[in-house]
Chain A
């Protein structure tokens, strides 16, 4: 699980604010503070019949204590033991965008600040795969493109057709048109067959992919 203590251990000293334990401890104390603020507005009750706020209040004190110890240990640990916190921002941001895209547009709706249209799995699926795929520097467009459609076709087949999970497949506008002319199920099967064919075509047509997909 935690397997990279070697390469993170830097030769030069790690400033206090960048130490894993200092930041970790501080985060715990912060959360404890937040919980405490939420808990004191609630009824504490008595020991014989404690109220809604008692457990949260008690736990926030315990968490603050434990987090405080982590924090203090972070401050007093020897320089050579201290580890620097390192976050990879780019992949996190890209994956967050991919997931947010799915969440916001699969059915659309009112999210407080924004309201979004329904685009359905048909549009959102390939986009999610494509955006998520960009999170690694090893990304290759000519691989990702057929994958986007192929995976969406697979998900439509497995989740929507075989497991009959209810999830919007079409953008709202198309959904209304389609359902009046012929069944949504038929149209959905058409989509995944078309996507599957598209993925296969792209896979063959784009140069340099064929054959070494599983390298």
Chain B
């Protein structure tokens, strides 16, 4: 316990420098700013803003990145509540009751409870991370290559099951992502592979470039497709602070949401989305008057928002302790860490303790900032929602171009982003969800490496490789996950989830 406080203290000592607080603040603000724009989800926001962090030193950069992450999540919820356009699947359920509240002139209250719930959940999740990080990373160090391989297979299976759309298509995307990860210099011999004689491919595919193309530029093309149907935004958001009655109603929902989200977020796979759905279902189940749900029940906002924020935070656990990102967003965060010379994995804590604990405490600070800064600024966000899209997208294009150029000062990277943008648009048109591709791209190299080492250690005997108890258990779990997703009843649930999207 004293250890925990020592660690948090170390973290605060890192975060509480003028520069880092400023970076956290800027991250939260620009994250919200971009995240609040309709049609731009957190993933696209982070992809677009990532280059902003490249010029700071590692700790500052990661703190800013965490700020962007929370800002964009919160911005997404704002859009969901005010205009009923959820930026990503985790705020789909927020839109149900949140927007109903907005139509009743209680948008401010919905936003207020979302922020307060998120903050409480975030505080709880921060403690969960701080408590679990060390034991989990110790455990991770005892994992064999085979265990790691199996764990990745499990995580990727969960990722394609939670991804929207056809399971088979998500699987195709995942495989392509893994293949893309293998393009470039062979890690063992350094000879080129799958480069088809091109020098450009020798360095492999850069996660940032692929993400910005597939999510940033492609998203613009998708939005340009549909004629501008900008929904009407009410000017009156009403009072921001929930009444005592509202708090009493939401307290249970926030508590349950925090617990639920923290647990689900740790499991590899898209925790934030899953937890918000589960929390909504649970609140509806325990509610005294379930018929209020969908018509502006405050618990229907408080529960899922707390859950998805807690999960969004504990999703960092697999990344920071095992080095395995469980969502595409985490894959990007992992990519940014690597860029700063911090390889995500069990050794982060011991090798960069200041950075690790700084990042964890910055999560809490970021959440706090969202409450005390964003709520008063709600009027500005509402104004942003009213900016017509034709004014927005040229700006995003320019920021993407400047951002991607600034990473490596390579003009060719800009062209690649354009190409991936077109590919992403094509994939969308063919109903392929590109998120698993990004995950495959990040994990592909590790997947191959661990499989190879595992097979070397077992002397090429697949029986021995699969026979290790943990490996076997994890792989069985992966098979069950995919198998159950194929079963009719769950397939129907997935379908529903996708239609609500």
Residues on A facing B (Cβ under 8 Å): 1-4, 20-21, 23-24, 27-28, 31, 35, 38-39, 42, 46-50, 52-53, 55-56, 59-60, 62-63, 66-67, 69-70, 73, 83, 85-88, 91-92, 95-96, 98-100, 102-104, 106-109, 111, 121, 125, 128-130, 132-133, 135-136, 138-140, 143-144, 147-148, 151-152, 155, 159, 163-167, 213-215
Give B343-394 interface residues, CB cut-off 8 Å to A. Answer: 383, 386-391, 393-394
Q: Are B415's CB and A88's CB within 8 A?
A: no
A contact residues around B55 at 8 Å (CB)? 163-165
B contact residues around A31 at 8 Å (CB)? 176
Q: Are B501's CB and A24's CB within 8 A?
A: no
New A-B pairs, 10, CB < 8 Å, besides A2-B433, A88-B225, A152-B398:
A1-B164, A50-B452, A52-B191, A111-B411, A128-B394, A130-B394, A133-B394, A138-B388, A155-B398, A165-B402
A contact residues around B452 at 8 Å (CB)? 49-50
Q: Are B383's CB and A24's CB within 8 A?
A: no
A contact residues around B228 at 8 Å (CB)? 136, 138
Q: Are A147's CB and B459's CB within 8 A?
A: no
Give B185-204 interface residues, CB cut-off 8 Å to A. Answer: 186, 188-189, 191, 193-194, 196
User: Do A2 and B390 form a contact, CB below 8 Å, given A88-B225, A103-B415?
Assistant: no
Q: Are A104's CB and B411's CB within 8 A?
A: yes
User: Do A214 and B387 form a contact, CB below 8 Å, given A49-B460, A56-B193?
Assistant: yes
A contact residues around B74 at 8 Å (CB)? none
Q: Are B386's CB and A214's CB within 8 A?
A: yes
Q: Are A91's CB and B176's CB within 8 A?
A: no
B412 at the interface (CB under 8 A from A): yes
Q: Are A155's CB and B397's CB within 8 A?
A: no
User: Which of B166, B179, B188 is the one whose CB lies under 8 Å from A60?
Assistant: B179
B159-172 Cβ-contact flags toward A at 8 Å (1 or 0): 00000111011011
A91 to B: closest C-beta gap in Å: 4
A contact residues around B166 at 8 Å (CB)? 70
User: Do A99 and B411 form a contact, CB below 8 Å, given A24-B430, A128-B397, A132-B394?
Assistant: no
B144 at the interface (CB under 8 A from A): no
Distance, CA A56 to CA B163, complexed state (A) = 24
Q: Which residue of A has the minimal Cβ distance to B52?
A: A163
User: Which of B395, B409, B413 is the one whose CB lies under 8 Å from A151?
Assistant: B395
Distance, CA A31 to CA B178, complexed state (A) = 13
Give B467-484 interface residues, CB cut-off 8 Å to A. Answer: none
User: Do A47 and B397 form a contact, CB below 8 Å, given A67-B172, A111-B412, A159-B402?
Assistant: no
A-B pairs with beta carbons under 8 Å apart, 7 shown = A1-B89, A31-B176, A49-B456, A92-B221, A92-B422, A136-B228, A151-B398
Distance, CA A39 to CA B448, complexed state (A) = 15
B54-71 Cβ-contact flags toward A at 8 Å (1 or 0): 010000000000000000
B495 to A: closest C-beta gap in Å: 11
User: Which of A100, A107, A135 is the one whose CB lies under 8 Å from B224?
Assistant: A135
User: Do A99 and B460 form a contact, CB below 8 Å, given A2-B501, A147-B391?
Assistant: no
B191 to A: closest C-beta gap in Å: 7
Q: How many interface residues does chain B have, given as a range? A: 35 or more
Q: Are A107's CB and B411's CB within 8 A?
A: yes
User: Which of B52, B221, B406, B429 is the one whose CB lies under 8 Å from A85?
Assistant: B429
Q: Which residue of B has the minimal Cβ distance to A97?
A: B418
User: Which of A24, A67, A139 is the one whose CB lies under 8 Å from B390?
Assistant: A139
Distance, CA A59 to CA B452, complexed state (A) = 15
Q: Are A129's CB and B415's CB within 8 A?
A: no
Q: Which residue of A has the minimal Cβ distance to B185?
A: A52
Q: Are B217's CB and A20's CB within 8 A?
A: no
Distance, CA A139 to CA B388, complexed state (A) = 11
Q: Are B455's CB and A47's CB within 8 A?
A: yes
User: Which of A35, A83, A99, A166 is the one whose CB lies under 8 Å from B421?
Assistant: A99
Distance, CA A195 to CA B150, complexed state (A) = 56
A114 to B: closest C-beta gap in Å: 12
Q: Are B397's CB and A136's CB within 8 A?
A: no
Give the top 3 A-B pairs by smallest Cβ distance, nearest first: A48-B460, A103-B414, A99-B418
A contact residues around B401 at 8 Å (CB)? 99, 102-103, 106, 128
A95 to B: closest C-beta gap in Å: 6
Distance, CA A98 to CA B189, complexed state (A) = 39
B contact residues around A132 at 8 Å (CB)? 393-394, 397-398
Q: Are B398's CB and A48's CB within 8 A?
A: no
B462 at the interface (CB under 8 A from A): yes
Give B406-444 interface residues, CB cut-off 8 Å to A. Answer: 406, 409, 411-415, 417-418, 421-422, 425-426, 428-433
A contact residues around B433 at 8 Å (CB)? 1-2
Q: Are B220's CB and A95's CB within 8 A?
A: yes
B182 at the interface (CB under 8 A from A): yes
Q: Are B194's CB and A56's CB within 8 A?
A: yes
B30 to A: closest C-beta gap in Å: 9
Q: Are A136's CB and B431's CB within 8 A?
A: no
B contact residues around A69 at 8 Å (CB)? 168
A contact residues around B128 at 8 Å (CB)? none
B205 at the interface (CB under 8 A from A): no
User: Do A91 and B225 form a contact, CB below 8 Å, given A48-B459, A62-B175?
Assistant: yes
Q: Which residue of B has the minimal Cβ distance to A109?
A: B411
Distance, CA A1 to CA B186, complexed state (A) = 36
B282 at the interface (CB under 8 A from A): no
Distance, CA A125 to CA B334, complexed state (A) = 31
Q: Are B224's CB and A88's CB within 8 A?
A: yes
User: Which of A66, A104, A147 is the one whose CB lies under 8 Å from B394?
Assistant: A147
A145 to B: closest C-beta gap in Å: 12
B contact residues around A121 at 8 Å (CB)? 402
Give B248-294 interface residues, CB cut-off 8 Å to A. Answer: none
User: Which of B165, B182, B431 is the one whose CB lies under 8 Å from A55?
Assistant: B182
User: Do A99 and B415 form a contact, CB below 8 Å, given A1-B501, A129-B397?
Assistant: yes
Q: Are A59's CB and B398's CB within 8 A?
A: no
Q: Are A23's CB and B172's CB within 8 A?
A: no
B contact residues around A102 at 8 Å (CB)? 398, 401, 405, 414
